[in-house]
Amino acid sequence: MSRILIEKARKRLERETGTIYTPLEGRLRVALAFPRPYSLGMSALGFQIVYGLMNSIPGVACERVFLPDASDLKEFQRSRTRLFSLESQTPVADFDLLAFSVSYELDYTKIAQILDLAGLPVFSEDRDESHPLVIAGGPCATFNPEPLAEIIDAFAIGDAEELVGDLVDAIKKSGNKNRDDLLGELAQVPGIYIPRFYTPKYNEDGTFAGMDVRSPAPPKVTKRIVRNLNDYKNTALILTPEAEFSNMLLAEAMRGCKRQCRFCVSGYTGLPPRPRDIPKLPEGERVGLVGSAVFDHPEARAICESLTKEGREFSISSTRVETLTDELAQMMYQGGQRTMTIAPEAGTEALRKVINKPTTDAEILEAARMASDAGFPRLKLYFMVGLPGETAEDIDGIVNLARNIASEYPSLKVQISASCYVPKPWTPFQWCGMAPEKELAKTLSKLKQSVAKEKHIEISSESPRSAYIQAWLARGDRRLGKVIAAAASLNGNYARAASDLGIDTDFYALRIRQQDEVFPWDHIDLLVRKEYLWKEYTRALESKVTSPCNVGSCARCGVCG
């Protein structure tokens, strides 16, 4: 092993607080992997929550693994050091279980890269009892595991809080069974998906036709939902100055969202929306409140007021315009936040109705007024280009809205963040095709030119190429596994990997689906009825707005009834 890498890991540990050290000997050894560098992984609350859950189980020792930084990667390669865990610097290949947290499609190649750095075969069929069992959880693993199905042995579908305990119990009870028998036991755990028991079928035109399922796996794998999240810890365990949110204590305030914006995968896969109690937090720490819609929390005002009275710094990632008040804006500013962030998503009220985010221009201007009055120097506006039904007027609307805010409130620096819309599984827009890459690039160029001379307006944008790759990975099937592995060996060159393997990525990204098409994720049951999503799609085409879900008295989508 490289002494340079070992010393860096130990110094990194010295800067942490809250690290868990559990002897590996005599325990089920779990390497919890985040397929990005340390600074990003330590800012991922879900990753930290699972780390705490695993280490709370008797007889389990869980340590962290990250994709090396670019400079470290060169040292790994130079010294031929195998990837190791952070806490004890134990080679990943020596663990019993390698568990990935997967939240972003472009991380798929990094999973293959981590396996290779650890000296493990990338494909599941090439691993045996001498290798760790490789599992994956997180948003991407839940909404469509198929692109990774030839790489991952087992997927955890849904909330982790109860699932990880059942997973560990099943592994412990299996004893020294061979790999196939162990996976057979795991296939019977609710919420665990074992791809090797499911054989995909395809139509002559290349579209997905369904799965042949072998016993003991169920025809559908139903996601796990924890109804009472307050039984579980909701804060990060470890603080470090190296995290992207340096020394900030992350606390989950809400899981799920009731708004049902038609483009948002987490708005449907995270149903039902569940607020969490915010316990007394350690003194002196900066706090980051995490959730899709923090101000939908019934106690949001009281939480912010309590933090303000304590003189605590706190941050909220994004604010729903309809829930913002002058009082909340002022408390956010007092809490140290200096950028107010809102997400109109579309440039006109008409297109916002299509995506079921019916915020008016007047409400957005009022939010800008609140930010200005509270003293915020910056207002960040999130928009998407390439949304279904988008016209030139909608793009002009982004520019006009930003100009109106900058003119009306000159103390605000307006920052436009423009991303490219990517159709995702489990949303009403899963039947849509993505806008072509060249069209998206042209639209973004127009946006930038329109505000280039505006003194108080800045703009940043996402790469259309990256968005296009996300689209075909998000809606892909098992045939993409070899593309992912090949792209990993080509330093992330997806285009070349797909071309070499004869895969038409436009087929996945740009093609419009028919109502009766079978999707590669249809054997995963997230409880949201497919017919409900189609109904929402048709309502979008008619520019009809759907009201937020009312948990406890509504059963329209299928999750609660």
Q: How big is the CA angle at 199 (ends 197 and 204), to the nearest 5 degrees?
A: 170
* Same domain (yes/no): 282, 410: yes
The pLDDT of residue 280: 77
Mean pLDDT for the chain overall: 95
C-alpha span between 202 and 214 (Å, rounded): 17
3-state secondary structure of 150: coil
Residue matched to tokens 């009312």: 550
* Same domain (yes/no): 60, 204: yes
Q: Does a structural domain hold residue 499?
A: no
C-alpha span between 484 and 489 (Å, rounded): 9
Spatial CA neighbour of 436 closest among 536, 500, 512, 492: 512
The pLDDT of residue 174: 84
* Same domain (yes/no): 446, 534: yes
* Same domain (yes/no): 187, 253: no
Whether residue 28 is predicted with pLDDT greater than 90 in this model: the reply is yes
Average pLDDT over residues 508-517: 97
Average pLDDT over residues 128-147: 97
The pLDDT of residue 318: 74
Read off the pLDDT of residues 425-477 as tens digits, 9 standing for 90 and up: 999 999 999 999 999 999 999 999 999 999 999 999 999 999 999 999 999 99
In one-letter notation, the amino acid at residue 167 is L
Q: Does a structural domain hold residue 189?
A: yes
Whether residue 279 is predicted with pLDDT greater than 80 in this model: the reply is no
* Same domain (yes/no): 380, 258: yes
Q: Tokens representing 399?
A: 């520019």
Whether residue 194 is predicted with pLDDT greater than 90 in this model: the reply is yes
Q: How many Å separate Cα 177 from the centre of its chain?
A: 34
Q: Does a structural domain hold residue 278?
A: yes
228: Cβ contacts below 8 Å, ≥ 6 apart: none
The pLDDT of residue 247: 86
Whether residue 337 is predicted with pLDDT greater than 90 in this model: the reply is yes
Whether residue 54 is predicted with pLDDT greater than 90 in this model: the reply is yes
Own/partner pairs for 319-325, CB < 8 Å, 24+ apart? Answer: 319/294, 319/295, 319/367, 320/259, 320/293, 320/295, 320/296, 321/359, 321/363, 321/364, 321/366, 321/367, 322/359, 322/363, 323/293, 323/295, 323/296, 324/295, 324/367, 324/370, 325/301, 325/370
The pLDDT of residue 547: 94
Whether residue 284 is predicted with pLDDT greater than 80 in this model: the reply is no
335-to-243, 289, 295, 484 alpha-carbon distances in Å: 20, 12, 15, 43
* Same domain (yes/no): 209, 303: no
Q: What is the CATH number of the domain that holds 365?
A: 3.20.20.70
Spatial CA neighbour of 509 closest among 461, 464, 462, 469: 469
- Residue 410: pLDDT band (50, 70, 90) is very high
The pLDDT of residue 345: 97
E strand or H helix at 40: helix 38-41
For 329, the domain range is 247-475+529-541
Main-chain phi, psi angles of 315, to 5 degrees: -140, 145
Average pLDDT over residues 266-271: 94
* Same domain (yes/no): 216, 349: no
Average pLDDT over residues 293-307: 93
Read off the pLDDT of residues 206-237 as tens digits, 9 standing for 90 and up: 999 999 999 999 999 999 999 899 999 999 99
3-state secondary structure of 221: strand
In one-letter notation, the amino acid at residue 313 is E
In one-letter notation, the amino acid at residue 8 is K
Q: Does a structural domain hold residue 231?
A: no
Spatial CA neighbour of 153 closest among 170, 167, 166, 136: 136
- Residue 553: pLDDT band (50, 70, 90) is confident
Share of the chain above pLDDT 70, in %: 100
Q: What is the CATH number of the domain that holds 87?
A: 3.40.50.280
The pLDDT of residue 439: 97
Q: Which of 207-216, 278-287, 349-358, 514-523 has the lowest mean pLDDT?
A: 278-287
- Residue 282 or residue 474, greater confidence: 474
Q: Does a structural domain hold residue 234?
A: no
The pLDDT of residue 1: 86
Q: Does a structural domain hold residue 241?
A: no
* Same domain (yes/no): 158, 271: no
C-alpha span between 149 and 182 (Å, rounded): 17
Whether residue 153 is predicted with pLDDT greater than 90 in this model: the reply is yes
- Residue 339 or residue 555, greater confidence: 339
48-to-19, 42, 55, 132, 470 alpha-carbon distances in Å: 10, 7, 11, 21, 25
Read off the pLDDT of residues 76-92 as tens digits, 9 standing for 90 and up: 999 999 999 999 999 99
Residue matched to tokens 């190791």: 84
Average pLDDT over residues 238-261: 92
* Same domain (yes/no): 135, 260: no
Q: Which of 310-324, 349-363, 480-494, 533-547 has the lowest mean pLDDT?
A: 310-324
Helices (H) and strands (E) in the chain, counts: 20, 19
* Same domain (yes/no): 60, 201: yes
In one-letter notation, the amino acid at residue 242 is E
Read off the pLDDT of residues 353-401 as tens digits, 9 standing for 90 and up: 999 999 999 999 999 999 999 999 999 999 999 999 999 999 999 999 9
Full DSSP string of 269-280: HTPSPEE---PP
* Same domain (yes/no): 124, 50: yes
* Same domain (yes/no): 272, 350: yes
The pLDDT of residue 137: 98
Q: Give rounded-to-5 percent helix, strand, coil for the chain.
A: 40, 15, 45
**Number of domains within the chain:** 2
Letter string b/e over residues 26-35, b meaning 16 or more CB atoms within 10 A of that residue's CB: eebbbbbbbb
333-to-239, 314, 328 alpha-carbon distances in Å: 23, 9, 9
